[in-house]
A and B are shown apart, each in its own frame.
Chain A
């Protein structure tokens, strides 16, 4: 139940917050203190296990996705979803307390009525800061299948939720109505050829949304054209290489994550073996392809047997869209510098992560070990996987969830006090200054 199932930084505001959701339905929010320490700001139970009596289905409490809303007022708002129900939470601070009763004293004992001769209006006095999380809205009963993604529109008024076959559009203020904008469900379920894996709104253009499917395609829809977005505006797909075709081709090409770049120009997609960068203006092939763990290509058969081949790895951009990060096995995660085309493999595990220690790059070798630190493919632990990663939208701070541990790494400060520009250089040498290693309890 402690296994972290999603990680998300807040996008705006002067304070840095990081929210994680876990399999037990809890949301934990971390706040960075001025000294750089990370502390738990608030913990609350967002979802409870439920049972659908009509379909005899258990609904897990696992948090599938968390999305922060742009700031409204001093309180923070986030959307959290499990398989079926999306909830809007308000996380607010309170530092005043009302004091003074007419009929009771402060301990709550009833006063002698004869002593009550004047009316007293309560007064507010300062108290220790209290962080409260309260559910503001519950968006339920709109999904027949499991919700895999939620994404807030740039108009700050609507958001989408996607399940395996449909995408719904909601107004943040209206819980009893949503509009179906994409429906892939065929008349006959036997004709089903693909499912939606992820959907996301464009960061600036309120009418654009991208969704990817299990067949390895990503579609871009323009909501201006029509109320139903079944007709895509663009289809991003790379022609399959016939020489590589095998039983696993389709499974491996299934897109497990899609992220728009902060500039809005590029799309980042992750499939089982690679991450790809697409230019929105070029549909027929990605502008960049990075191999995450190509050495697994020969091991697909055993990965299939252990179900690992269905793992859904997430991917992330850094704040300036110059570096890409994604997870892998053996508690490794990978970073790719787009300008220099250099890449690095790093490890997030309790053994190597000491506070303020710099991470050392790892190398996986296929044949004989060249260096002492190299790890052979056969000794990789496939149970230790990094599926969920997040990069702070502005700063070089990354959050890595490995099972029930959350690791936060930060660029090491250069002497003049500024953060390094996020080149891969920095990733390798400075980026990996371990700030905190939280065990997610």
Chain B
């Protein structure tokens, strides 16, 4: 009998093991994800001697299975018997680090980095470092690229002779024949530099950095830019000028736009790394050039950094630098030929006003905002409008309102509905900053016009917009300005507009409160229950369901219930359905069992017709 019990517990594990080689990928994947269960059942001994050797050779599998395997092995230390035996995990991870699929390799490297920390210093030199060396001198580029990511984790914990060997291996990889390996080395250069002693950074890393930054392949050079930034953070200020800056200057003027783009993209990190002095002398002119670059992609990347760059300038000279060097370039960008450049600029330019203060903003920035508000591309105008709050803090929005209004009106009537949708979303924000008066005077009619837009998404957004406006301006304002107009649409000849009234009521009832809802809205809704269009009628039923919680129970009993009962006998099936649904819900809440039973019977009838 004991044997039979053993079988019972063995069975699920046996299935899992068998499914490691099932033909269905999904089953194999499931099995691999439960690898820890299998290992636990086998015990540490058999895991080491049987399971791991098998896994080492299963690199033929699908990527997703290998990815899961690589991830699992990263937390397998306990299952092979603890740190003492952690090196048993190296062979399967080594073979995974050489597969062609980048995600799998990266995951294997990640797991190797993780388990390297669990090696004792001795094991690290006996087992882990030889593995890194094997990978670094492998025949295939896949193993050599994987090696690049492993140097930095073992370097700090090995003896100085091994350290020298590791540095030598890294040097070799930096001048590898294949661009793939040089790319990997280039992208790990910064990481490796961080764990090296400062003297070696100067003597080893700097020459490698210089070489990679002038590689014949664009893709290698552009990765060196990022490495340059990390290296710059490591070096003392006085060495930067001689060791890093010549190369970085060269990168900012590289023949390939992709390298210059990278410089522009990493500009704020670079600025932080080199400190205020070099920023003033070197980076300011470099940034000017990037803003004037002949390639639009580079200008876009640089334009995105304008605000961050200006913010991080040293305080003592910030204003003069911006006014004399940066602002002239920005002025040119405002009338750039490329829309992406302009729209990148528009998304950050408003931020400059907080840095420059009121007077400069009025004198220099305001004209630029006004130009951008009139830009031919809606995205540029939208980006300005969406950032209005920055300016509002500094000079108040009134300064802008003259130009703002035409821009808003134009966007509100743009032929593309997505543009209209975008501006609707900014309406509550604008309304808050411009104030009730201005809104009533200029923007109210726009908000109402959107309710009868011919695109449903716009009408829907417009109702939602009304709700947010009421939240801002209060129920009283709603009752005076928008509720009459919304309710007026209930008599429109277009049934879509009549339905919009119902949707508005759905959205507004809660924010407007019980009084307005019962007094003004409910009668309109009830009246619409006799509409000749079925869609309107069943939306009345849905609307009643929606506003029910706001109404008091006497109104529910006296007005709503009869209407719903009538709708429940409607000739249209959908109307019946929604009316009954509403009634059942309300009856459940009122615990009227008899009525409930009746309704459910009706509902069944409704669908058995």
Contact = CB atoms under 8 A, between A and B. Distances in A.
B318 to A, nearest CB: 33
Given A77-B100, A101-B18, A224-B255, A124 B54 contact: yes
Contacts of A383: none
A201 to B, nearest CB: 12
B383 interface: no
A146 B142 CA distance: 34
Contacts, number: 112
B21 A226 contact: no
A94 interface: yes
Given A124-B54, A227-B295, A157 B179 contact: yes
B13 interface: yes
Nearest to A124: B57
A156 interface: yes
Interface string A90-113: 101010101001111000000001
Given A124-B57, A225-B257, A155 B3 contact: no
A121 B35 CA distance: 12
A379 interface: no
Nearest to B49: A121
A116 B178 contact: no
B18 A73 contact: no
Contact of B21 (A92, A118, A122): A122
Interface string A153-193: 01111000000000000000100000000000000000000
Contact of B178 (A75, A136, A156, A173): A156
A368 interface: no
Contacts of A156: 178-180
B569 interface: no
28 contacts: A72-B141, A73-B99, A90-B100, A94-B60, A96-B57, A102-B14, A102-B15, A102-B18, A114-B3, A116-B10, A117-B3, A119-B17, A121-B17, A121-B50, A121-B54, A123-B54, A124-B57, A124-B58, A155-B217, A204-B216, A206-B217, A206-B219, A223-B218, A224-B218, A224-B254, A225-B255, A226-B295, A227-B296
Given A73-B143, A98-B21, A225-B255, 20 more contacts: A72-B140, A72-B141, A73-B140, A98-B54, A114-B3, A116-B11, A116-B14, A117-B7, A121-B42, A122-B17, A122-B20, A154-B179, A157-B179, A206-B216, A224-B218, A224-B254, A224-B258, A225-B294, A226-B294, A227-B297
Contacts of B178: 70, 156
Among B13, B20, B60, B98, the most chain A Cβ lie within 10 Å of the Cβ of: B60
Nearest to B62: A134
B236 interface: no
Interface residues of A, number: 42
Nearest to B140: A73
A403 B446 CA distance: 69
B15 A73 contact: no
7 cross-chain pairs, A with B, having the tightest CB-CB distances, nearest first: A102-B14, A224-B256, A121-B50, A73-B140, A72-B100, A124-B57, A155-B219
A230 to B, nearest CB: 13
Contacts of B41: 119
A3 B142 CA distance: 37
Interface in B83-111: 98-102
Given A117-B10, A156-B179, A226 B100 contact: no
B51 interface: yes
Contacts of A124: 54, 57-58
B119 to A, nearest CB: 25
Nearest to A72: B100
B100 A119 contact: no
A242 interface: no
Contacts of B58: 98, 124
